[in-house]
Structure 1
Amino acid sequence: MSNDIRIKKGLDIKLKGEAEKTVEQAIISNYYTIRPEDFHGVIPKLVAKEGALVKAGDTLFYDKSHEAITFSSPVSGKVIEVLRGPKRRIDAIKLEADKTQVYLDHGKFDLNGATAESIKAHLLATGCWPFVKQRPYDVIANPNKLPKAIFVSGYASAPLTADLDFTLQGKEAELQAAITALTKLTEGKVHVSVGKNSNSPLANVSGATIHKVSGPHPSGNVGTQINKIDPVNKGEVVWTVNPQDLVIIGELLLKGKFNAERIVALVGSSVEKPRYFVTKIASEAATMVYDKGISKDANARIISGNVLSGKQIQPDGCLDYYSNVITVIPEGDDYELFGWNKPVFNKISTSRAMTFSWLNPKKKYDLNTNTNGEHRAFVTTGTYEEVFPLDIYPMQILKACLYQDLDEMEALGMYEVAPEDFALTEFVCVSKQPHQKIIRAGLDLMLKEIG
């Protein structure tokens, strides 16, 4: 059986502002902000109180529902502020970093003699467990459940996303250590996907099943690969890990320190010089965005993540926990007179009605955040199916989420989807429905009612 995965349905959105393959050290942030909202479903219980001094790798808080799951500080320094919301909910933990970083020494881990339980305990105690997520529900993995397989997508197909072949160069030892550890955490296989013609360091790791992926976005989404390789049925669990998080896990195992370093791509048509930066998790976005990036009075939207599934942040905001790209594109707060009633040459569309992007498939566009329409009832057009490669009915599952029919959601395949799997259907939706928000609400309902 071939390990090649060829995706036919999808859509490549070609945008201006791709990052040059050059890496610079970002201006070192003075402040780092960890937001519990990045960890969906986690109820934080604070360990490091306001005013506490921490090392990089010290525990900041743990999950009240699963006390073994801890969350570590990306830097050494002082907890200067704990921002709270309604009912004293912890919204953010702000750290002031030391000039010279000090790491908590966890000691080198013996992988050869390690068991699944010892590896799991080590990842939980050192704060690396939040990097392991699960399907169903797209939340941090439950350490008490055994996965039937573990998936790593080393192929990024989203628009203007970081090139993983480039960012993982030189990290072969860390990647191999992390993959070796993951193989002991499942009785099934560890599936690693890379681009069909890539030279990714992940293509040469041992102990994993390598798949070569080709086709339009969302071929790089781990959910697409799960659907094509080993779909999730009721009662089954699979785990997923991002490639750059593998590097952090591998360095912890090999060197004993929690080094929350990220290579982040600063991209987008509003950026003067798109390129890569070396920074840390939760660092200030301004250290990259305004360092020869964009002017402070530019009318642009800053997104932590890619344009399809990323999260808008303020100019003084921080990189979120899982992102390796910051996208800056023009804010779409202007409206085009009779824009609906004249030929369109500067926008992407899957329709051929008055739009002509299909004539030049390699053209790169300078798109803004304007939705070019208003929210309205679902319209059955068949466009979702054209860009949705999963063996699932997208319109039907979205409607089942809206009227909260748990039985129908189960039958339609809700266990194996995540919000990012519906980013493209949201992009092409003529009804301007918030597909990702609908799917997230449906998953939350299933987690609450079914568990």
Structure 2
Amino acid sequence: MSNDIRIKKGLNINLVGAAEQTTSKAVLSNTYAINLLDFHGLTPKMLLKQGAEVQAGEALFYNKNREDMMFVSPVSGELIEIERGARRKILTLKILADKAQEHVSHGSLDPEKASPEEIKGLLLKSGCWPFVKQRPYDIIADPDAVPKAIFVSGYVTAPLSADLDYVLQGKEAELQAALSALGKLTPGKVHVSVGKSSNSPLSGLSGIELHKVSGPHPAGLVGTQINKIDPINKGEVVWTVAPSDLIIIGELLLTGKFNADRTIALAGSSIKAPKYYTTKIGAEIATFLYGSGVNEDNIRVINGDVLTGSMSSPDGYLGFYNNTVTAIPEGDDYELFGWNKPIFNKISSTRALTFSWMMPNKKFTLNTNTNGEHRAFVVTGRYEEVFPMDIYPLQLLKACMVKDLDEMEQLGLYEVAPEDFSLTEFICISKQPHQQIIREGLDLMHKEIG
């Protein structure tokens, strides 16, 4: 039995360059990198020195605030570089991969028979615990916390993101093992959401509460689903896990090995033949970027989708949590009187000289231009039209900007993550960095309130 969730508020952003459902194997990367900026709020402590030999799944560093939480190497090879920033802060670890890969065995575990303590212990020592995120604060989950529920979103609405129905095919055993194990870590339910008309492998799994979701973006974001299914109140914690990460957790439970393989979607209008590639976490983006051909030289490579991803380059590395890499034209050109003429080739939530609302099925080719300058917030009511949560987005953003903890708490900051404001940032006529504002607000609240 499933529960239907229909989201009415939102905006679908149809872009040219969706990945065709064919999968190729990426060229093997010579070096792999772990970017510590992927782990927000982490204080790392190194276990190995530069030049050390490592095996795939061997711990590289641990969380200073939780010494049994390990972060492991995706491949076997030599730790060739520890890049540091200001105050010797560790930024990136680079590993020169061996031709023949060797894996550390952490020992398999039967999730049906294992205790919650055994499951937590295996996930912590194997490097899989960082896949479990928590709300509030959108950080790596605290193993000592007891979540009231666990949420998994198998419904994707973000533009050009990987199609999870395709990516998860044939992985039912790993998904079931992971969800059975995670179900023992909460007294509540494991909520799994899929598209209403999808054929997701998640639909046939046991031990879950299945929800069928429909509606425009951001219906596929886990934050939207939490708000509609079981909202977070003060003092409560929920955990979230991405379906692609469930595969790695499930394979660990079944085989005892940390397998960093990842099926990613290479998408975007700057790619000649967008499609899927199998690679590993931390692989060089160039190993699959040029395999499909690039339409132009001046492109923006995005580690993730176009709304929430981070700017990268062809020389960059696949992020720890990402299953999409997007390439679109760099927007460093400007239109003469672009604000004062009818616009047919851009997406807009307004009808002021724009006509995308008349062509709901048309796919657009957009670049990175902001189409306007940064300015103070203008109260238009547009955010509320695309923001489906029972939260006042503009008021919450302003409360974060002035660091009013009481207002932030009362307006629902506990429920949100930066990605929940990606769509309001996209349509913002004031060009304010909504996701950055929310991230800074969450960090302040975590520091002051905990």
Query: 1:39-95 deviations in whole A, cap 9, x for unaligned?
Result: 000011111210111111000111112212110110111100100111111010000
Query: 1:373-418 deviations in whole A, cap 9, x for unaligned?
Result: 0100000000000110010000000000000000110000000100
**Cα distance between partner residues in 2 of 1:300 and 1:168:** 30
Deviation at 1:280, TM superposition (A): 0.4
Are 2:286 and 1:286 equivalent residues in the alignment? yes
- One-letter code aligned to 2:324: V
1:376 maps to which residue?
375
**Cα distance between partner residues in 1 of 2:171 and 2:2:** 27
1:140 maps to which residue?
140
Are 2:299 and 1:308 equivalent residues in the alignment? no
Deviation at 1:111, TM superposition (A): 2.0
Q: Which moved more, 1:2-11 or 1:276-285?
A: 2-11
- One-letter code aligned to 2:332: D
Query: 1:323-362 deviations in whole A, cap 9, x for unaligned?
Result: 0000000000000000000000000011111111111110
**Cα distance between partner residues in 2 of 1:294 and 1:49:** 38
**Cα distance between partner residues in 2 of 1:97 and 1:9:** 46
In structure 2, the residue corresponding to 1:3 is in which secondary structure?
strand
Query: 1:205-225 deviations in whole A, cap 9, x for unaligned?
Result: 100000000000000000000
Supply the RMSD in Å over aligned alpha carbons.
0.9
User: Could you say if the C-alpha distance between residues 239 and 286 of structure 1 is closer, same or farther in structure 2, counting changes exceeding 3 Å?
Assistant: same
1:400 maps to which residue?
399
The number of equivalent residue pairs is 450
1:64 maps to which residue?
64
Deviation at 1:110, TM superposition (A): 2.5
In structure 2, the residue corresponding to 1:351 is in which secondary structure?
coil
Q: What is the TM-score normalised by the length of structure 1?
A: 0.99
1:196 maps to which residue?
196
**Cα distance between partner residues in 2 of 1:407 and 1:292:** 50
**Cα distance between partner residues in 1 of 2:157 and 2:236:** 27
- One-letter code aligned to 1:307: V
Query: 1:282-338 deviations in whole A, cap 9, x for unaligned?
Result: 10000111223216x710000000000000012210011000000000000000000
Alignment of 1:133-212 (within 5 A): 133-212=133-212
**Cα distance between partner residues in 1 of 2:259 and 2:96:** 17
**Cα distance between partner residues in 1 of 2:293 and 2:89:** 35
Q: Which moved more, 1:109-118 or 1:227-236?
A: 109-118
**Cα distance between partner residues in 2 of 1:66 and 1:284:** 30
**Cα distance between partner residues in 2 of 1:38 and 1:274:** 25
Gaps of 5+ in 1: none
Query: 1:154-209 deviations in whole A, cap 9, x for unaligned?
Result: 11110000000000000000000000001100000000000001111101110000
In structure 2, the residue corresponding to 1:152 is in which secondary structure?
strand
2:256 maps to which residue?
256
Cα contact 2:157–2:217 (8 A) shared by 1: yes
**Cα distance between partner residues in 2 of 1:110 and 1:371:** 51
Give the % identical residues.
Answer: 66
**Cα distance between partner residues in 2 of 1:126 and 1:236:** 27
**Cα distance between partner residues in 2 of 1:437 and 1:112:** 41
Deviation at 1:22, TM superposition (A): 0.1
Deviation at 1:112, TM superposition (A): 2.6
- One-letter code aligned to 1:392: I
- One-letter code aligned to 2:31: Y
- One-letter code aligned to 2:208: A
**Cα distance between partner residues in 2 of 1:333 and 1:434:** 19
Deviation at 1:113, TM superposition (A): 2.1
- One-letter code aligned to 1:87: R
Alignment of 1:56-135 (within 5 A): 56-135=56-135
**Cα distance between partner residues in 1 of 2:293 and 2:384:** 38
In structure 2, the residue corresponding to 1:421 is in which secondary structure?
helix
Alignment of 1:318-357 (within 5 A): 318-357=317-356
Are 2:430 and 1:443 equivalent residues in the alignment? no
**Cα distance between partner residues in 1 of 2:199 and 2:113:** 31
- One-letter code aligned to 1:32: Y
Deviation at 1:2, TM superposition (A): 6.3
In structure 1, the residue corresponding to 2:60 is in which secondary structure?
strand
Cα contact 2:372–2:431 (8 A) shared by 1: yes
In structure 1, the residue corresponding to 2:279 is in which secondary structure?
strand
**Cα distance between partner residues in 1 of 2:20 and 2:385:** 31
User: 4+ runs of 1 displaced by more than 3 Å?
Assistant: none
1:430 maps to which residue?
429
- One-letter code aligned to 1:388: F
**Cα distance between partner residues in 2 of 1:245 and 1:328:** 23
Cα contact 2:2–2:210 (8 A) shared by 1: no
Q: What is the TM-score normalised by the length of structure 2?
A: 0.99
- One-letter code aligned to 2:237: V
User: Could you say if the C-alpha distance between residues 2 and 321 of structure 1 is closer, same or farther in structure 2, counting changes exceeding 3 Å?
Assistant: closer
Deviation at 1:100, TM superposition (A): 1.2
Alignment of 1:239-254 (within 5 A): 239-254=239-254
Cα contact 2:150–2:186 (8 A) shared by 1: yes
In structure 2, the residue corresponding to 1:232 is in which secondary structure?
coil
**Cα distance between partner residues in 2 of 1:22 and 1:112:** 35
Query: 1:120-161 deviations in whole A, cap 9, x for unaligned?
Result: 111001110000000000000000110000000011110000
**Cα distance between partner residues in 2 of 1:151 and 1:441:** 24
1:18 maps to which residue?
18
Alignment of 1:384-395 (within 5 A): 384-395=383-394
**Cα distance between partner residues in 2 of 1:64 and 1:163:** 36
- One-letter code aligned to 1:19: A
